[in-house]
C-alpha cells in the first residue's frame, strides 16, 4: 500500500497551480457534501441503528485514511461525520429539496474542479488513477494544514516529489 506521502505527492503532481488548489478548497467539499447527501437515502435499520450508504462509504473512507495516518484519519473521520450529518439533514427534506441540494453541490463542485484544472492545464488526477477520488479530500485537508504552517516536513517531502506550487502561467513558463 502507498504511504501518505506517496498518495499526497502523486495527487499534488496534478495540482501545482495555486489557483487550481484554491478551487479545490471549494469544489471538493461541495462534491463530498453532494455525495453524502445523495447517498443519505434510503436509510436502513441495522441492529437498531439507522444506516445509509453515506455512512457506509464514510466509514470505509475513514478506515482507509486511518490506515494511511492515524492523525489525518481521525481528522478526516470527523469531517466525514459532519458531511454525513449534513447529508442526513438534507435527506429529511422533500425529495425535490434533497435532490436539489445533492445534485447542486455535486455539479457546482465539479464546475470549480474543472475551472481549476483548466488553469492548471492538466487533467484531474482521478483520470489516471481512480484513487484520486478518495485522495482529493485528504489533499485539501493537507493543503489547509500546510497553509497554516503545520506539518512542514510533510509539505517539504511532497514538494520535493511533486514540485513547488506556482501562482499561474508566468510561473509555469519559468518552471
- The DSSP result for the chain, as a single string, is ---HHHHHHHHHTT--BHHHHHHHHHHHHHHHHHHHHHTT-SEEEETTEEEEHHHHHHHHHHHHHHHH-HHHHHHHHHHHHHHHHHHHHHHTS-HHHHHHHHHHHHHHHHHHHHHHHHHHTS--GGGT-TTHHHHHHHHHHHHHHHHTT--HHHHHHHHHHH---BSSHHHHHH-
Cell of 71: 492523525
For the question of whether the overall pTM of this predicted structure is more than 0.85, the answer is yes
- Answer whether residue 128 shows pLDDT above 80: no
pLDDT of residue 36: 97
pLDDT tops 90 at residue 169: no
With a cut of 80, say whether residue 103 has pLDDT above it: yes
Give me the pLDDT at residue 175, please: 47
pLDDT band at 168 (very low <50, low <70, confident <90, very high): low
What residues are paired with 17 via a beta bridge?
Answer: 166
Inform me whether the pLDDT recorded for 134 exceeds 80: yes
Amino acid at each position: 500500500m502507498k504511504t501518505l506521502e506517496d498518495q499526497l505527492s502523486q495527487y499534488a503532481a496534478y495540482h501545482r497551480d495555486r489557483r487550481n488548489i484554491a478551487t479545490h478548497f471549494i469544489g471538493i467539499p461541495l462534491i463530498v457534501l453532494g455525495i453524502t447527501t445523495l447517498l443519505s437515502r434510503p436509510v436502513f435499520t441495522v441492529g437498531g441503528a439507522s444506516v445509509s450508504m453515506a455512512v457506509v462509504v464514510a466509514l470505509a473512507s475513514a478506515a482507509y485514511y486511518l490506515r494511511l495516518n492515524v492523525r489525518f484519519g481521525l481528522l478526516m473521520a470527523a469531517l466525514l461525520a459532519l458531511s454525513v450529518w449534513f447529508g442526513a439533514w438534507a435527506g429529511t427534506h422533500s425529495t425535490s429539496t434533497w435532490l436539489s441540494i445533492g445534485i447542486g453541490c455535486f455539479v457546482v463542485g465539479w464546475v470549480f474542479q474543472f475551472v481549476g484544472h483548466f488553469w492548471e492545464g492538466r487533467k484531474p488526477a482521478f483520470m489516471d488513477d481512480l484513487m484520486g477520488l478518495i485522495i482529493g479530500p485528504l489533499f485539501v485537508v493537507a493543503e489547509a494544514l500546510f497553509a497554516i504552517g503545520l506539518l512542514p516536513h510533510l509539505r517539504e517531502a511532497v514538494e520535493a516529489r511533486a514540485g513547488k506550487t506556482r501562482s499561474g502561467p508566468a510561473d509555469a513558463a519559468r518552471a
